[in-house]
């Protein structure tokens, strides 16, 4: 009887899922309610989790709860510690959830809500969650080894070195692009800039509080920090209206970029307890709280999606970023569907804390499904406002025109009505000078979130608060990615330089710390300034570069995963990771090729350089702009070169992997599974 009820329940889930997917796929004309997306996503996630992931766990990984995990065997009270399944689930989710699943879907909404939504759901169930799950399993069976170590051991030295260099390069591009998102969100906004600036003394205060006044009371200190941050949002409104204070917090793109670069340098060189760690605690709690609030808000408000299923920009002429739906939709949305960066987390802290092997099922696979759901919520928030407003906020002046009248005419001409008055009113409602050309996704997402939160109950004043709360939330945890990333980049660089000159490798040697920190901030700072000065808004060139890099890292992770599955079972279950790998390889190579060699200047970096060069030679560039144009030409070529380096690195690891697979399949190479030996668990259920 119980079995029949189970089959019936799963039958209903499948029917509801199929019905909702059908509805969002074929419905045209009338705005679609966001609940169709939510239900479609949840049903597909449930089916994927219950059937596909369970199949992979039982048949492919052969998870065994009788086998002691590294958390038990190597338990040391520090890194290795058996942890309750649900606590570790939350911990892992907090670690994988960054700005990517929020910003990517917002940008990809330029194609309409449907392509991005389908990719987020299908990509996560068949690709992203599988990658996270298999890498977590592999690391757990190898005493918590990192992706780089596994690549070196399973594939070869080329794999290990490639993984290290790729991660460093990806981090430089990642830090530049997320910094650009913050800069564009705070440009000309004294309210937002004051609030974010205030988080720094608040973090220092928290650091001192924790170190000297109330050591160990992190939760108490974080509550205090949160109250002060909310107070700074209210104070920000006063600052924005003060003729004395507002100019102190009003900056253009370049000024803000320099401020973020200086912040990155300070965070990398100052003691970690003083600035970085307290900000990170605060950011983690605010992040989880806001994600929860957004979920509740969407369920409560159930907004209609104002953007159509497909827009005219599927043809590649989009104003936010150029390029056709294939491959650029799949590059733009990385973290919500599949993200290479997750493989670093899945082979980091989490495998050292898993108490039972079967816990990897909800933690590895389930956490990624939740992250995918966050991306769905971001897509809903982005599509909940009128399309004209969406494009007005996200389109750079270089595409739609500098003045409000010109931009409104261009966007209305695309079929998305918007008026200068409408944008002026909206800017006034959220307490901003202007909302035109606020590229990067953050302001647009903040508008969507504020719109949803305000509909629960509130007036214009509430809308203003929520908009700036959302900006604070996005900037707070993006800056946490920047400060921690700069520090990690510094360590990696010191590690490499230490082989050349030993003192540089010492992480507490101040000259080494300063030189390597400067090198890292200059590297990502260069790309940031490039993005700020780009007449097309910077996102057009930097976000695809980041997407390509992140997906190529996923390709490396899937190479490692496929190699491990091949060694475990022969070719039988290779397809589990080989299929997403083949898809990612096709997508990323196509995107990288187009970004380098497309004849369209808005798509291809080299074509863009040639176009600018031709304009320069034809004397079409004003004398005052010649220097700037030469810089743009150099930057376009540099971006093409970075893209090429990524391709070469990943090609190296792909070729190495394929040679190994062929060797294993024809019997000329050894098929050794390098797992830690089986040890029976002694852990009692009550210890979990």
Partner 1 sequence: MAALRTFGRMVLALLRELSDESAYERHLRAHGRVHSGEEWRRFCEERLRAKYARAKCC
Q: What is the binding site for partner 1 (CB under 8 A)?
A: 76-79, 81, 83-84, 86-88, 90-91, 94-100, 167, 171, 174, 178, 210-212, 215-216, 218-219, 222, 272-273, 276-277, 281, 284-285, 288, 334-335, 339, 341-342, 344-345, 348-349, 480-481, 484-485, 487-488, 491, 546, 550
Q: Which is nearer to partner 1, 350 or 530 (CB)?
A: 350
Q: Are 466 and 453 in contact (CB under 8 A)?
A: yes
Q: Which is nearer to partner 1, 292 or 502 (CB)?
A: 292
Angle between helices 276-301 and 34-47 (to 10 degrees): 110
Q: How far is CA 628 from the centre of its chain?
A: 31
- What is the smallest separation between the CB atom of 377 and partner 1, expressed in angstroms? 18
- CB-hemisphere CA count at 13 Å for 106? 31
- What is the smallest separation between the CB atom of 342 and partner 1, expressed in angstroms? 6
Pair of tokens at residue 392? 């007005």
Q: Which is nearer to partner 1, 29 or 216 (CB)?
A: 216
Q: Which is nearer to partner 1, 550 or 585 (CB)?
A: 550
- What is the smallest separation between the CB atom of 276 and partner 1, expressed in angstroms? 6
Residue whose pair of structure tokens reads 């090198």 in the numeric block: 519
- What is the smallest separation between the CB atom of 513 and partner 1, expressed in angstroms? 13
Rounded to whole angstroms, the Cα distance separating 310 from 111 reads 6
Is 5 exposed, middle or buried, given 0-12, 13-18 or 19+ CB atoms closer than 10 A?
A: exposed
Start-to-end Cα distance in the chain:
32
User: In 3D, which of 332, 334, 330, 342 has the Cα closest to residue 368?
Assistant: 342
Q: Which is nearer to partner 1, 86 or 634 (CB)?
A: 86
Rounded to whole angstroms, the Cα distance separating 417 from 388 reads 5
Q: Which is nearer to partner 1, 73 or 211 (CB)?
A: 211
Q: Which is nearer to partner 1, 215 or 247 (CB)?
A: 215
Q: Which is nearer to partner 1, 113 or 281 (CB)?
A: 281
- What is the smallest separation between the CB atom of 103 and partner 1, expressed in angstroms? 9
Planar angle of CA 647, 541, 188, nearest 5 degrees: 145
Q: Which is nearer to partner 1, 321 or 416 (CB)?
A: 321
Q: Which residues contact 662 (CB under 8 A, 6 or more apart)?
A: none
- What is the smallest separation between the CB atom of 192 and partner 1, expressed in angstroms? 22
Residue 32 sits at φ, ψ, to 5 deg, of -90, 140
Q: Are 136 and 351 in contact (CB under 8 A)?
A: yes
Q: Are 432 and 236 in contact (CB under 8 A)?
A: no
- What is the smallest separation between the CB atom of 474 and partner 1, expressed in angstroms? 13
- What is the smallest separation between the CB atom of 91 and partner 1, expressed in angstroms? 6
CB atoms inside a 10 Å sphere around CB 70: 22
Q: Which is nearer to partner 1, 44 or 520 (CB)?
A: 520
- What is the smallest separation between the CB atom of 38 and partner 1, expressed in angstroms? 22
Rounded to whole angstroms, the Cα distance separating 278 from 256 reads 23
DSSP 304: E
Q: Which is nearer to partner 1, 76 or 666 (CB)?
A: 76
Residue whose pair of structure tokens reads 């338990």 in the numeric block: 75
Residue ranges in 384-459 assigned as alpha helix (H): 387-394, 397-400, 404-413, 420-429, 442-455
- What is the smallest separation between the CB atom of 485 and partner 1, expressed in angstroms? 6
Q: Count, in order, helices (H) and strands (E) of the chain.
A: 29, 2
- What is the smallest separation between the CB atom of 389 and partner 1, expressed in angstroms? 27
- What is the smallest separation between the CB atom of 348 and partner 1, expressed in angstroms? 5
CB atoms inside a 10 Å sphere around CB 59: 13
- What is the smallest separation between the CB atom of 341 and partner 1, expressed in angstroms? 5
Q: Which is nearer to partner 1, 349 or 386 (CB)?
A: 349
- What is the smallest separation between the CB atom of 393 and partner 1, expressed in angstroms? 22
Q: Which is nearer to partner 1, 288 or 518 (CB)?
A: 288
Q: Are 535 and 324 in contact (CB under 8 A)?
A: no
Rounded to whole angstroms, the Cα distance separating 199 from 177 reads 21
Q: Which is nearer to partner 1, 21 or 481 (CB)?
A: 481
Q: How far is CA 631 from CA 177, 284, 529, 609, 652, in A?
A: 19, 38, 11, 10, 31
Contacts 24+ apart (CB under 8 A), 416-421: 416/386, 416/387, 416/388, 416/390, 416/391, 417/386, 417/388, 418/386, 418/388, 418/389, 418/391, 418/392
Q: Which is nearer to partner 1, 77 or 677 (CB)?
A: 77
Q: Quick check: helix, strand or coil at residue 602?
A: coil
- What is the smallest separation between the CB atom of 171 and partner 1, expressed in angstroms? 6
Q: Which is nearer to partner 1, 216 or 667 (CB)?
A: 216
3-state secondary structure 101-150: HHHHHHHHHHHCHHHHHHHHHHHHHHHHHHHHHHHHHHHHCCCCCCHHHH
- What is the smallest separation between the CB atom of 40 and partner 1, expressed in angstroms? 26
Q: Which residues contact 461 (CB under 8 A, 6 or more apart)?
A: none
Q: Are 35 and 302 in contact (CB under 8 A)?
A: yes
């Amino acid at each position: 009887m119980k079995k029949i009820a189970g089959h019936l329940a799963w039958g209903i889930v499948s029917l509801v899922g199929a019905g909702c997917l059908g509805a969002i796929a074929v419905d045209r004309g009338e705005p679609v309610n966001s609940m169709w997306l939510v239900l479609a996503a949840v049903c597909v996630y449930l089916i994927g989790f219950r059937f596909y992931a369970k199949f992979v766990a039982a048949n492919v990984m052969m998870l065994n709860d009788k086998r002691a995990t590294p958390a038990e065997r190597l338990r040391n009270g520090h890194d290795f510690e058996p942890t309750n399944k649900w606590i570790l689930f939350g911990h892992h989710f907090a670690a994988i959830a960054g700005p990517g699943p929020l910003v990517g879907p917002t940008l990809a909404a330029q194609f309409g809500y449907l392509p991005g939504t389908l990719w987020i759901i299908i990509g996560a169930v068949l690709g992203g969650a599988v990658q996270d799950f298999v890498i977590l399993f592999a690391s757990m069976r190898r005493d918590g080894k990192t992706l780089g170590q596994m690549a070196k051991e399973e594939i070869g030295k080329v794999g290990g070195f490639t993984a290290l260099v790729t991660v460093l390069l990806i981090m430089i591009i990642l830090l530049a692009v997320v910094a650009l998102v913050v800069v564009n969100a705070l440009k000309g906004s004294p309210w937002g800039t004051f609030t974010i600036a205030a988080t720094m003394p608040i973090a220092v205060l928290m650091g001192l509080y924790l170190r000297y006044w109330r050591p160990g009371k992190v939760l108490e200190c974080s509550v205090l920090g949160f109250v002060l941050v909310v107070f700074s949002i209210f104070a920000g409104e006063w600052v924005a209206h003060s003729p004395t204070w507002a100019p102190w917090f009003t900056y253009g793109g370049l000024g803000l970029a320099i401020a973020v670069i200086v912040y990155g340098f300070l965070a990398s060189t100052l003691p970690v307890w003083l600035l970085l760690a307290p900000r990170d605690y605060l950011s983690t709690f605010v992040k989880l709280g806001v994600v929860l609030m957004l979920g509740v808000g969407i369920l409560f408000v159930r907004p209609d999606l104002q953007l159509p299923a497909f827009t005219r920009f599927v043809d590649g002429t989009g104003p936010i970023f150029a390029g056709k739906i294939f491959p650029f939709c799949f590059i733009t949305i990385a973290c919500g569907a599949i993200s290479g960066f997750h493989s670093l987390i899945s082979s980091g802290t989490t495998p050292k804390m898993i108490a039972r092997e079967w816990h990897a099922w909800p933690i590895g696979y389930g956490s990624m499904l939740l992250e995918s759901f966050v991306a769905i919520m971001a897509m809903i928030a982005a599509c909940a406002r009128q399309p004209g407003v969406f494009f007005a906020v996200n389109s750079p002046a270089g595409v739609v025109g500098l003045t409000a009248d010109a931009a409104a005419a261009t966007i209305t001409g695309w079929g998305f009505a918007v008026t200068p008055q409408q944008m002026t009113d909206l800017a006034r409602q959220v307490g901003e000078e202007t909302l035109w050309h606020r590229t990067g996704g953050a302001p647009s997402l903040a508008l969507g979130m504020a719109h949803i939160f305000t509909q629960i109950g509130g007036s214009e004043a509430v809308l203003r608060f929520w908009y700036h709360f959302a900006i604070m939330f996005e900037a707070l945890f993006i800056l946490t990615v920047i400060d921690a990333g700069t520090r990690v980049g510094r360590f990696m660089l010191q590690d490499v330089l230490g082989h050349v000159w030993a003192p540089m490798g010492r992480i507490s040697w101040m000259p080494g710390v300063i030189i390597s920190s400067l090198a890292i901030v200059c590297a990502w700072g260069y790309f940031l300034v490039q993005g700020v000065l780009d007449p097309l808004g910077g996102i057009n060139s930097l976000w695809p570069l980041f997407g390509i890099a992140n997906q190529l890292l996923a390709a490396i992770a899937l190479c490692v995963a496929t190699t491990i599955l091949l060694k475990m079972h022969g070719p039988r279950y290779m397809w589990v990771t080989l299929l997403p790998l083949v898809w990612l390889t096709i997508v990323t190579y196509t995107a990288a090729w187009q970004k380098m060699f497309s004849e369209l200047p808005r798509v291809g970096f080299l074509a863009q350089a040639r176009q600018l060069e031709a304009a320069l030679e034809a004397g079409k560039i004003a004398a005052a702009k010649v220097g700037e144009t030469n810089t743009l030409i150099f930057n376009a070529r540099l971006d093409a070169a970075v893209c090429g380096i990524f391709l070469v690195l990943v090609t190296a690891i792909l070729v190495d992997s394929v040679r190994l697979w062929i060797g294993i399949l024809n019997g000329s190479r050894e098929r050794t599974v390098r797992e830690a030996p089986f040890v029976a668990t002694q852990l009692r259920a009550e210890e979990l």
